[in-house]
């Protein structure tokens, strides 16, 4: 059986599915099914209102499918919902509850990630409670207007000094992924690439190939 530590180290592609990109439930579910059939290593769900019954039912359907396909499913912000859905874990932002509280809710086997921007954030991460950190944006992105991209030297330093797996996010696509891989990044995440476009499976496979190509 693969341990949680081994699983996280094997991740290459981490997709983030935000329901705000879709006009209706059917489109969202179609995209999720495409992700489950792709070579993606993990999927995070971002829902604006999981308290809404129809949204919760959609998330439940996704969680059931993720378990069948054995793709780790991460819920953004809401550890209690991750527990209710039987998801693999939760991702926490700076303004969310603490990782230690999330760990108490979800237990030792859950995957817990958090967002960091630099060494100050990284130094404050409790390695007992946090399994991976997401750093970004590594490139300028319209999803984070006014937020400067992390410099290449800082990204390199973070990769070299992070004691836990690091996931790079922000504006990543097939044309620039080699730049972050060359700085030591092993796992990349995206919100738009492969989500806002058609042929998700092919796009993700091409991104994986670009990551593995000689830099």
pLDDT tens figures, 37-92: 999 999 999 987 766 778 888 899 999 999 999 999 999 999 999 999 999 999 99
Ordered DSSP codes for 189-212 = EESSTTTSSS-HHHHHHHHHHHHH
Reported pTM? 0.94
* Angstrom distance (rounded) from CA 169 to CA 144: 11
* Angstrom distance (rounded) from CA 215 to CA 10: 19
Q: Which two tokens stand for residue 185?
A: 């990044």
**Three-state secondary-structure class, residue 112:** strand
pLDDT at 56 (0 to 100) = 85
Residue listed under structure tokens 């396909």 = 69
Given a cut of 90, whether residue 127 has pLDDT beyond it is no
Confidence of residue 21 (pLDDT cuts 50, 70, 90): confident
Are the C-beta atoms of 21 and 46 separated by less than 8 Å? no
pLDDT at 122 (0 to 100) = 84
Q: Which residues are CB-neighbours of 9 under 8 A, at least 6 positions away?
A: 165, 186
**Three-state secondary-structure class, residue 169:** strand
Share of the chain above pLDDT 70, in %: 98
Neighbour tally for 52: CB within 10 Å: 12
Given a cut of 80, whether residue 213 has pLDDT beyond it is yes
Neighbour tally for 110: CB within 10 Å: 20
- Please state the rounded mean pLDDT for residues 177-198: 92
- Please state the rounded mean pLDDT for residues 24-44: 94
Neighbour tally for 98: CB within 10 Å: 12
3-41 burial, b at 16+ Cβ within 10 Å, e below that, comes to eeeebbeebbbbbbbbbeebeeeeebeebbebbbebebb
């Amino acid at each position: 059986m693969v341990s949680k530590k081994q699983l996280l180290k094997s991740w290459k592609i981490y997709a983030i599915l935000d329901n705000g990109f879709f006009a209706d439930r059917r489109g969202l579910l179609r995209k999720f099914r495409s992700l489950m059939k792709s070579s993606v290593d993990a999927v995070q769900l971002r829902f604006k209102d999981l308290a809404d019954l129809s949204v919760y039912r959609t998330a439940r359907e996704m969680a059931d499918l993720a378990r069948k396909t054995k793709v780790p499913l991460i819920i953004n912000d809401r550890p209690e919902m991750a527990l209710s859905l039987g998801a693999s874990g939760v991702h926490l932002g700076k303004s969310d509850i603490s990782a230690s509280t999330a760990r108490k809710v979800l237990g030792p086997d859950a995957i817990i990630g958090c967002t960091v921007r630099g060494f100050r954030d990284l130094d404050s991460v409790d390695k007992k409670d946090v399994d991976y950190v997401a750093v970004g944006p590594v490139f300028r992105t319209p999803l984070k207007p006014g937020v400067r991209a992390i410099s290449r030297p800082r990204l390199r330093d973070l990769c070299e000094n992070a004691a836990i797996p690091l996931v790079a996010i922000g504006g990543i696509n097939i044309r620039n992924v080699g730049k972050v891989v060359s700085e030591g990044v092993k796992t990349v995440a995206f919100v738009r690439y492969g989500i806002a476009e058609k042929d998700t499976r092919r796009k993700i496979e091409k991104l994986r190939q670009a990551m593995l190509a000689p830099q």
